[in-house]
Amino acid sequence: MVDSPHRLITPQHLPQTLAQHLYQLADHQITSQTLVRWAETQQWQLLEGAYKTDQTLAAHVLREILSDIVLQWECLQAHHHDTAQAGQELVVEFPNAWLTTWLQQIQSTPANPMSNINFNAPIGNVNTGNTTIQGD
Amino acid sequence: MIDPNTIPDHPRRAKTYDYFRILSNQRIRYYGNYKAAKISGKTAGARLVVEVDFAGIVRRTWYESYDSQNRVIRIHPKTPKDLGHVELNPLTDKETERW
């Protein structure tokens, strides 16, 4: 959690980068585990690292979103562990609906520099087809 | 029992985390915000726990998972070393499985 190869992102750029990672995950360019490891690093910077003293509303919202991503991963992994058949290989990924929720929460982050994020871009069009993020 | 106000960074942490507990070994545990699981099952939710010593140094972190009765059913130590998931019997607090 503390030591990580992930690049440190400033809180100002975090919403944009997180949204990009969520779209990459929806497009299967990265795995959920990759997203979670990245989110853990960024969350730690906001809790105990370089940005721990940032008490802005944006930082608070980001802490909550990153925390949700990391903790939902804990719960999802456990659920799959509990329900998997013996010998079954586990491939755990976040449902697309959850990615949509997190993108909507990012969009509501105060004063985020997300002008170049297209929230009308479909997410999860492979599996769900009609799940989209609504723009402003 | 230590006075938390003598521990560096305590006011900030007390504001950042959901609540804290003072331990008898000169440490404080800060409990992060609880997140209810989006998928229904044995795990009702989870939170981050950060343990800090009297100098304000983070010594250990882990995730705690809870059942519907708010009992700890699993821990996942993250630092200083990721030890994977440890399943606990909520009635005895004893380890039942590691994965």
Residues of B in contact with A90 (CB under 8 A): none
Amino acid at the residue A17: T
Please state the ipTM of this predicted complex. 0.95
Å from B60 to nearest chain A CA?
10
DSSP state of A55: -
Looking at CA atoms only, how far is residue A1 from chain B in angstroms?
A: 6
The string of pLDDT tens digits covering residues A7-46 is 778 888 899 999 999 999 999 999 999 999 999 999 999 9
**What is the structure's pLDDT at A9?**
82
* pTM across the whole model: 0.86
Q: Is B63 on the interface with A (CB under 8 A)?
A: yes
- Count of the separate structural domains present in chain A: 1
Range of the domain at A58: 1-136
CB contact under 8 A, A75 and B48: no
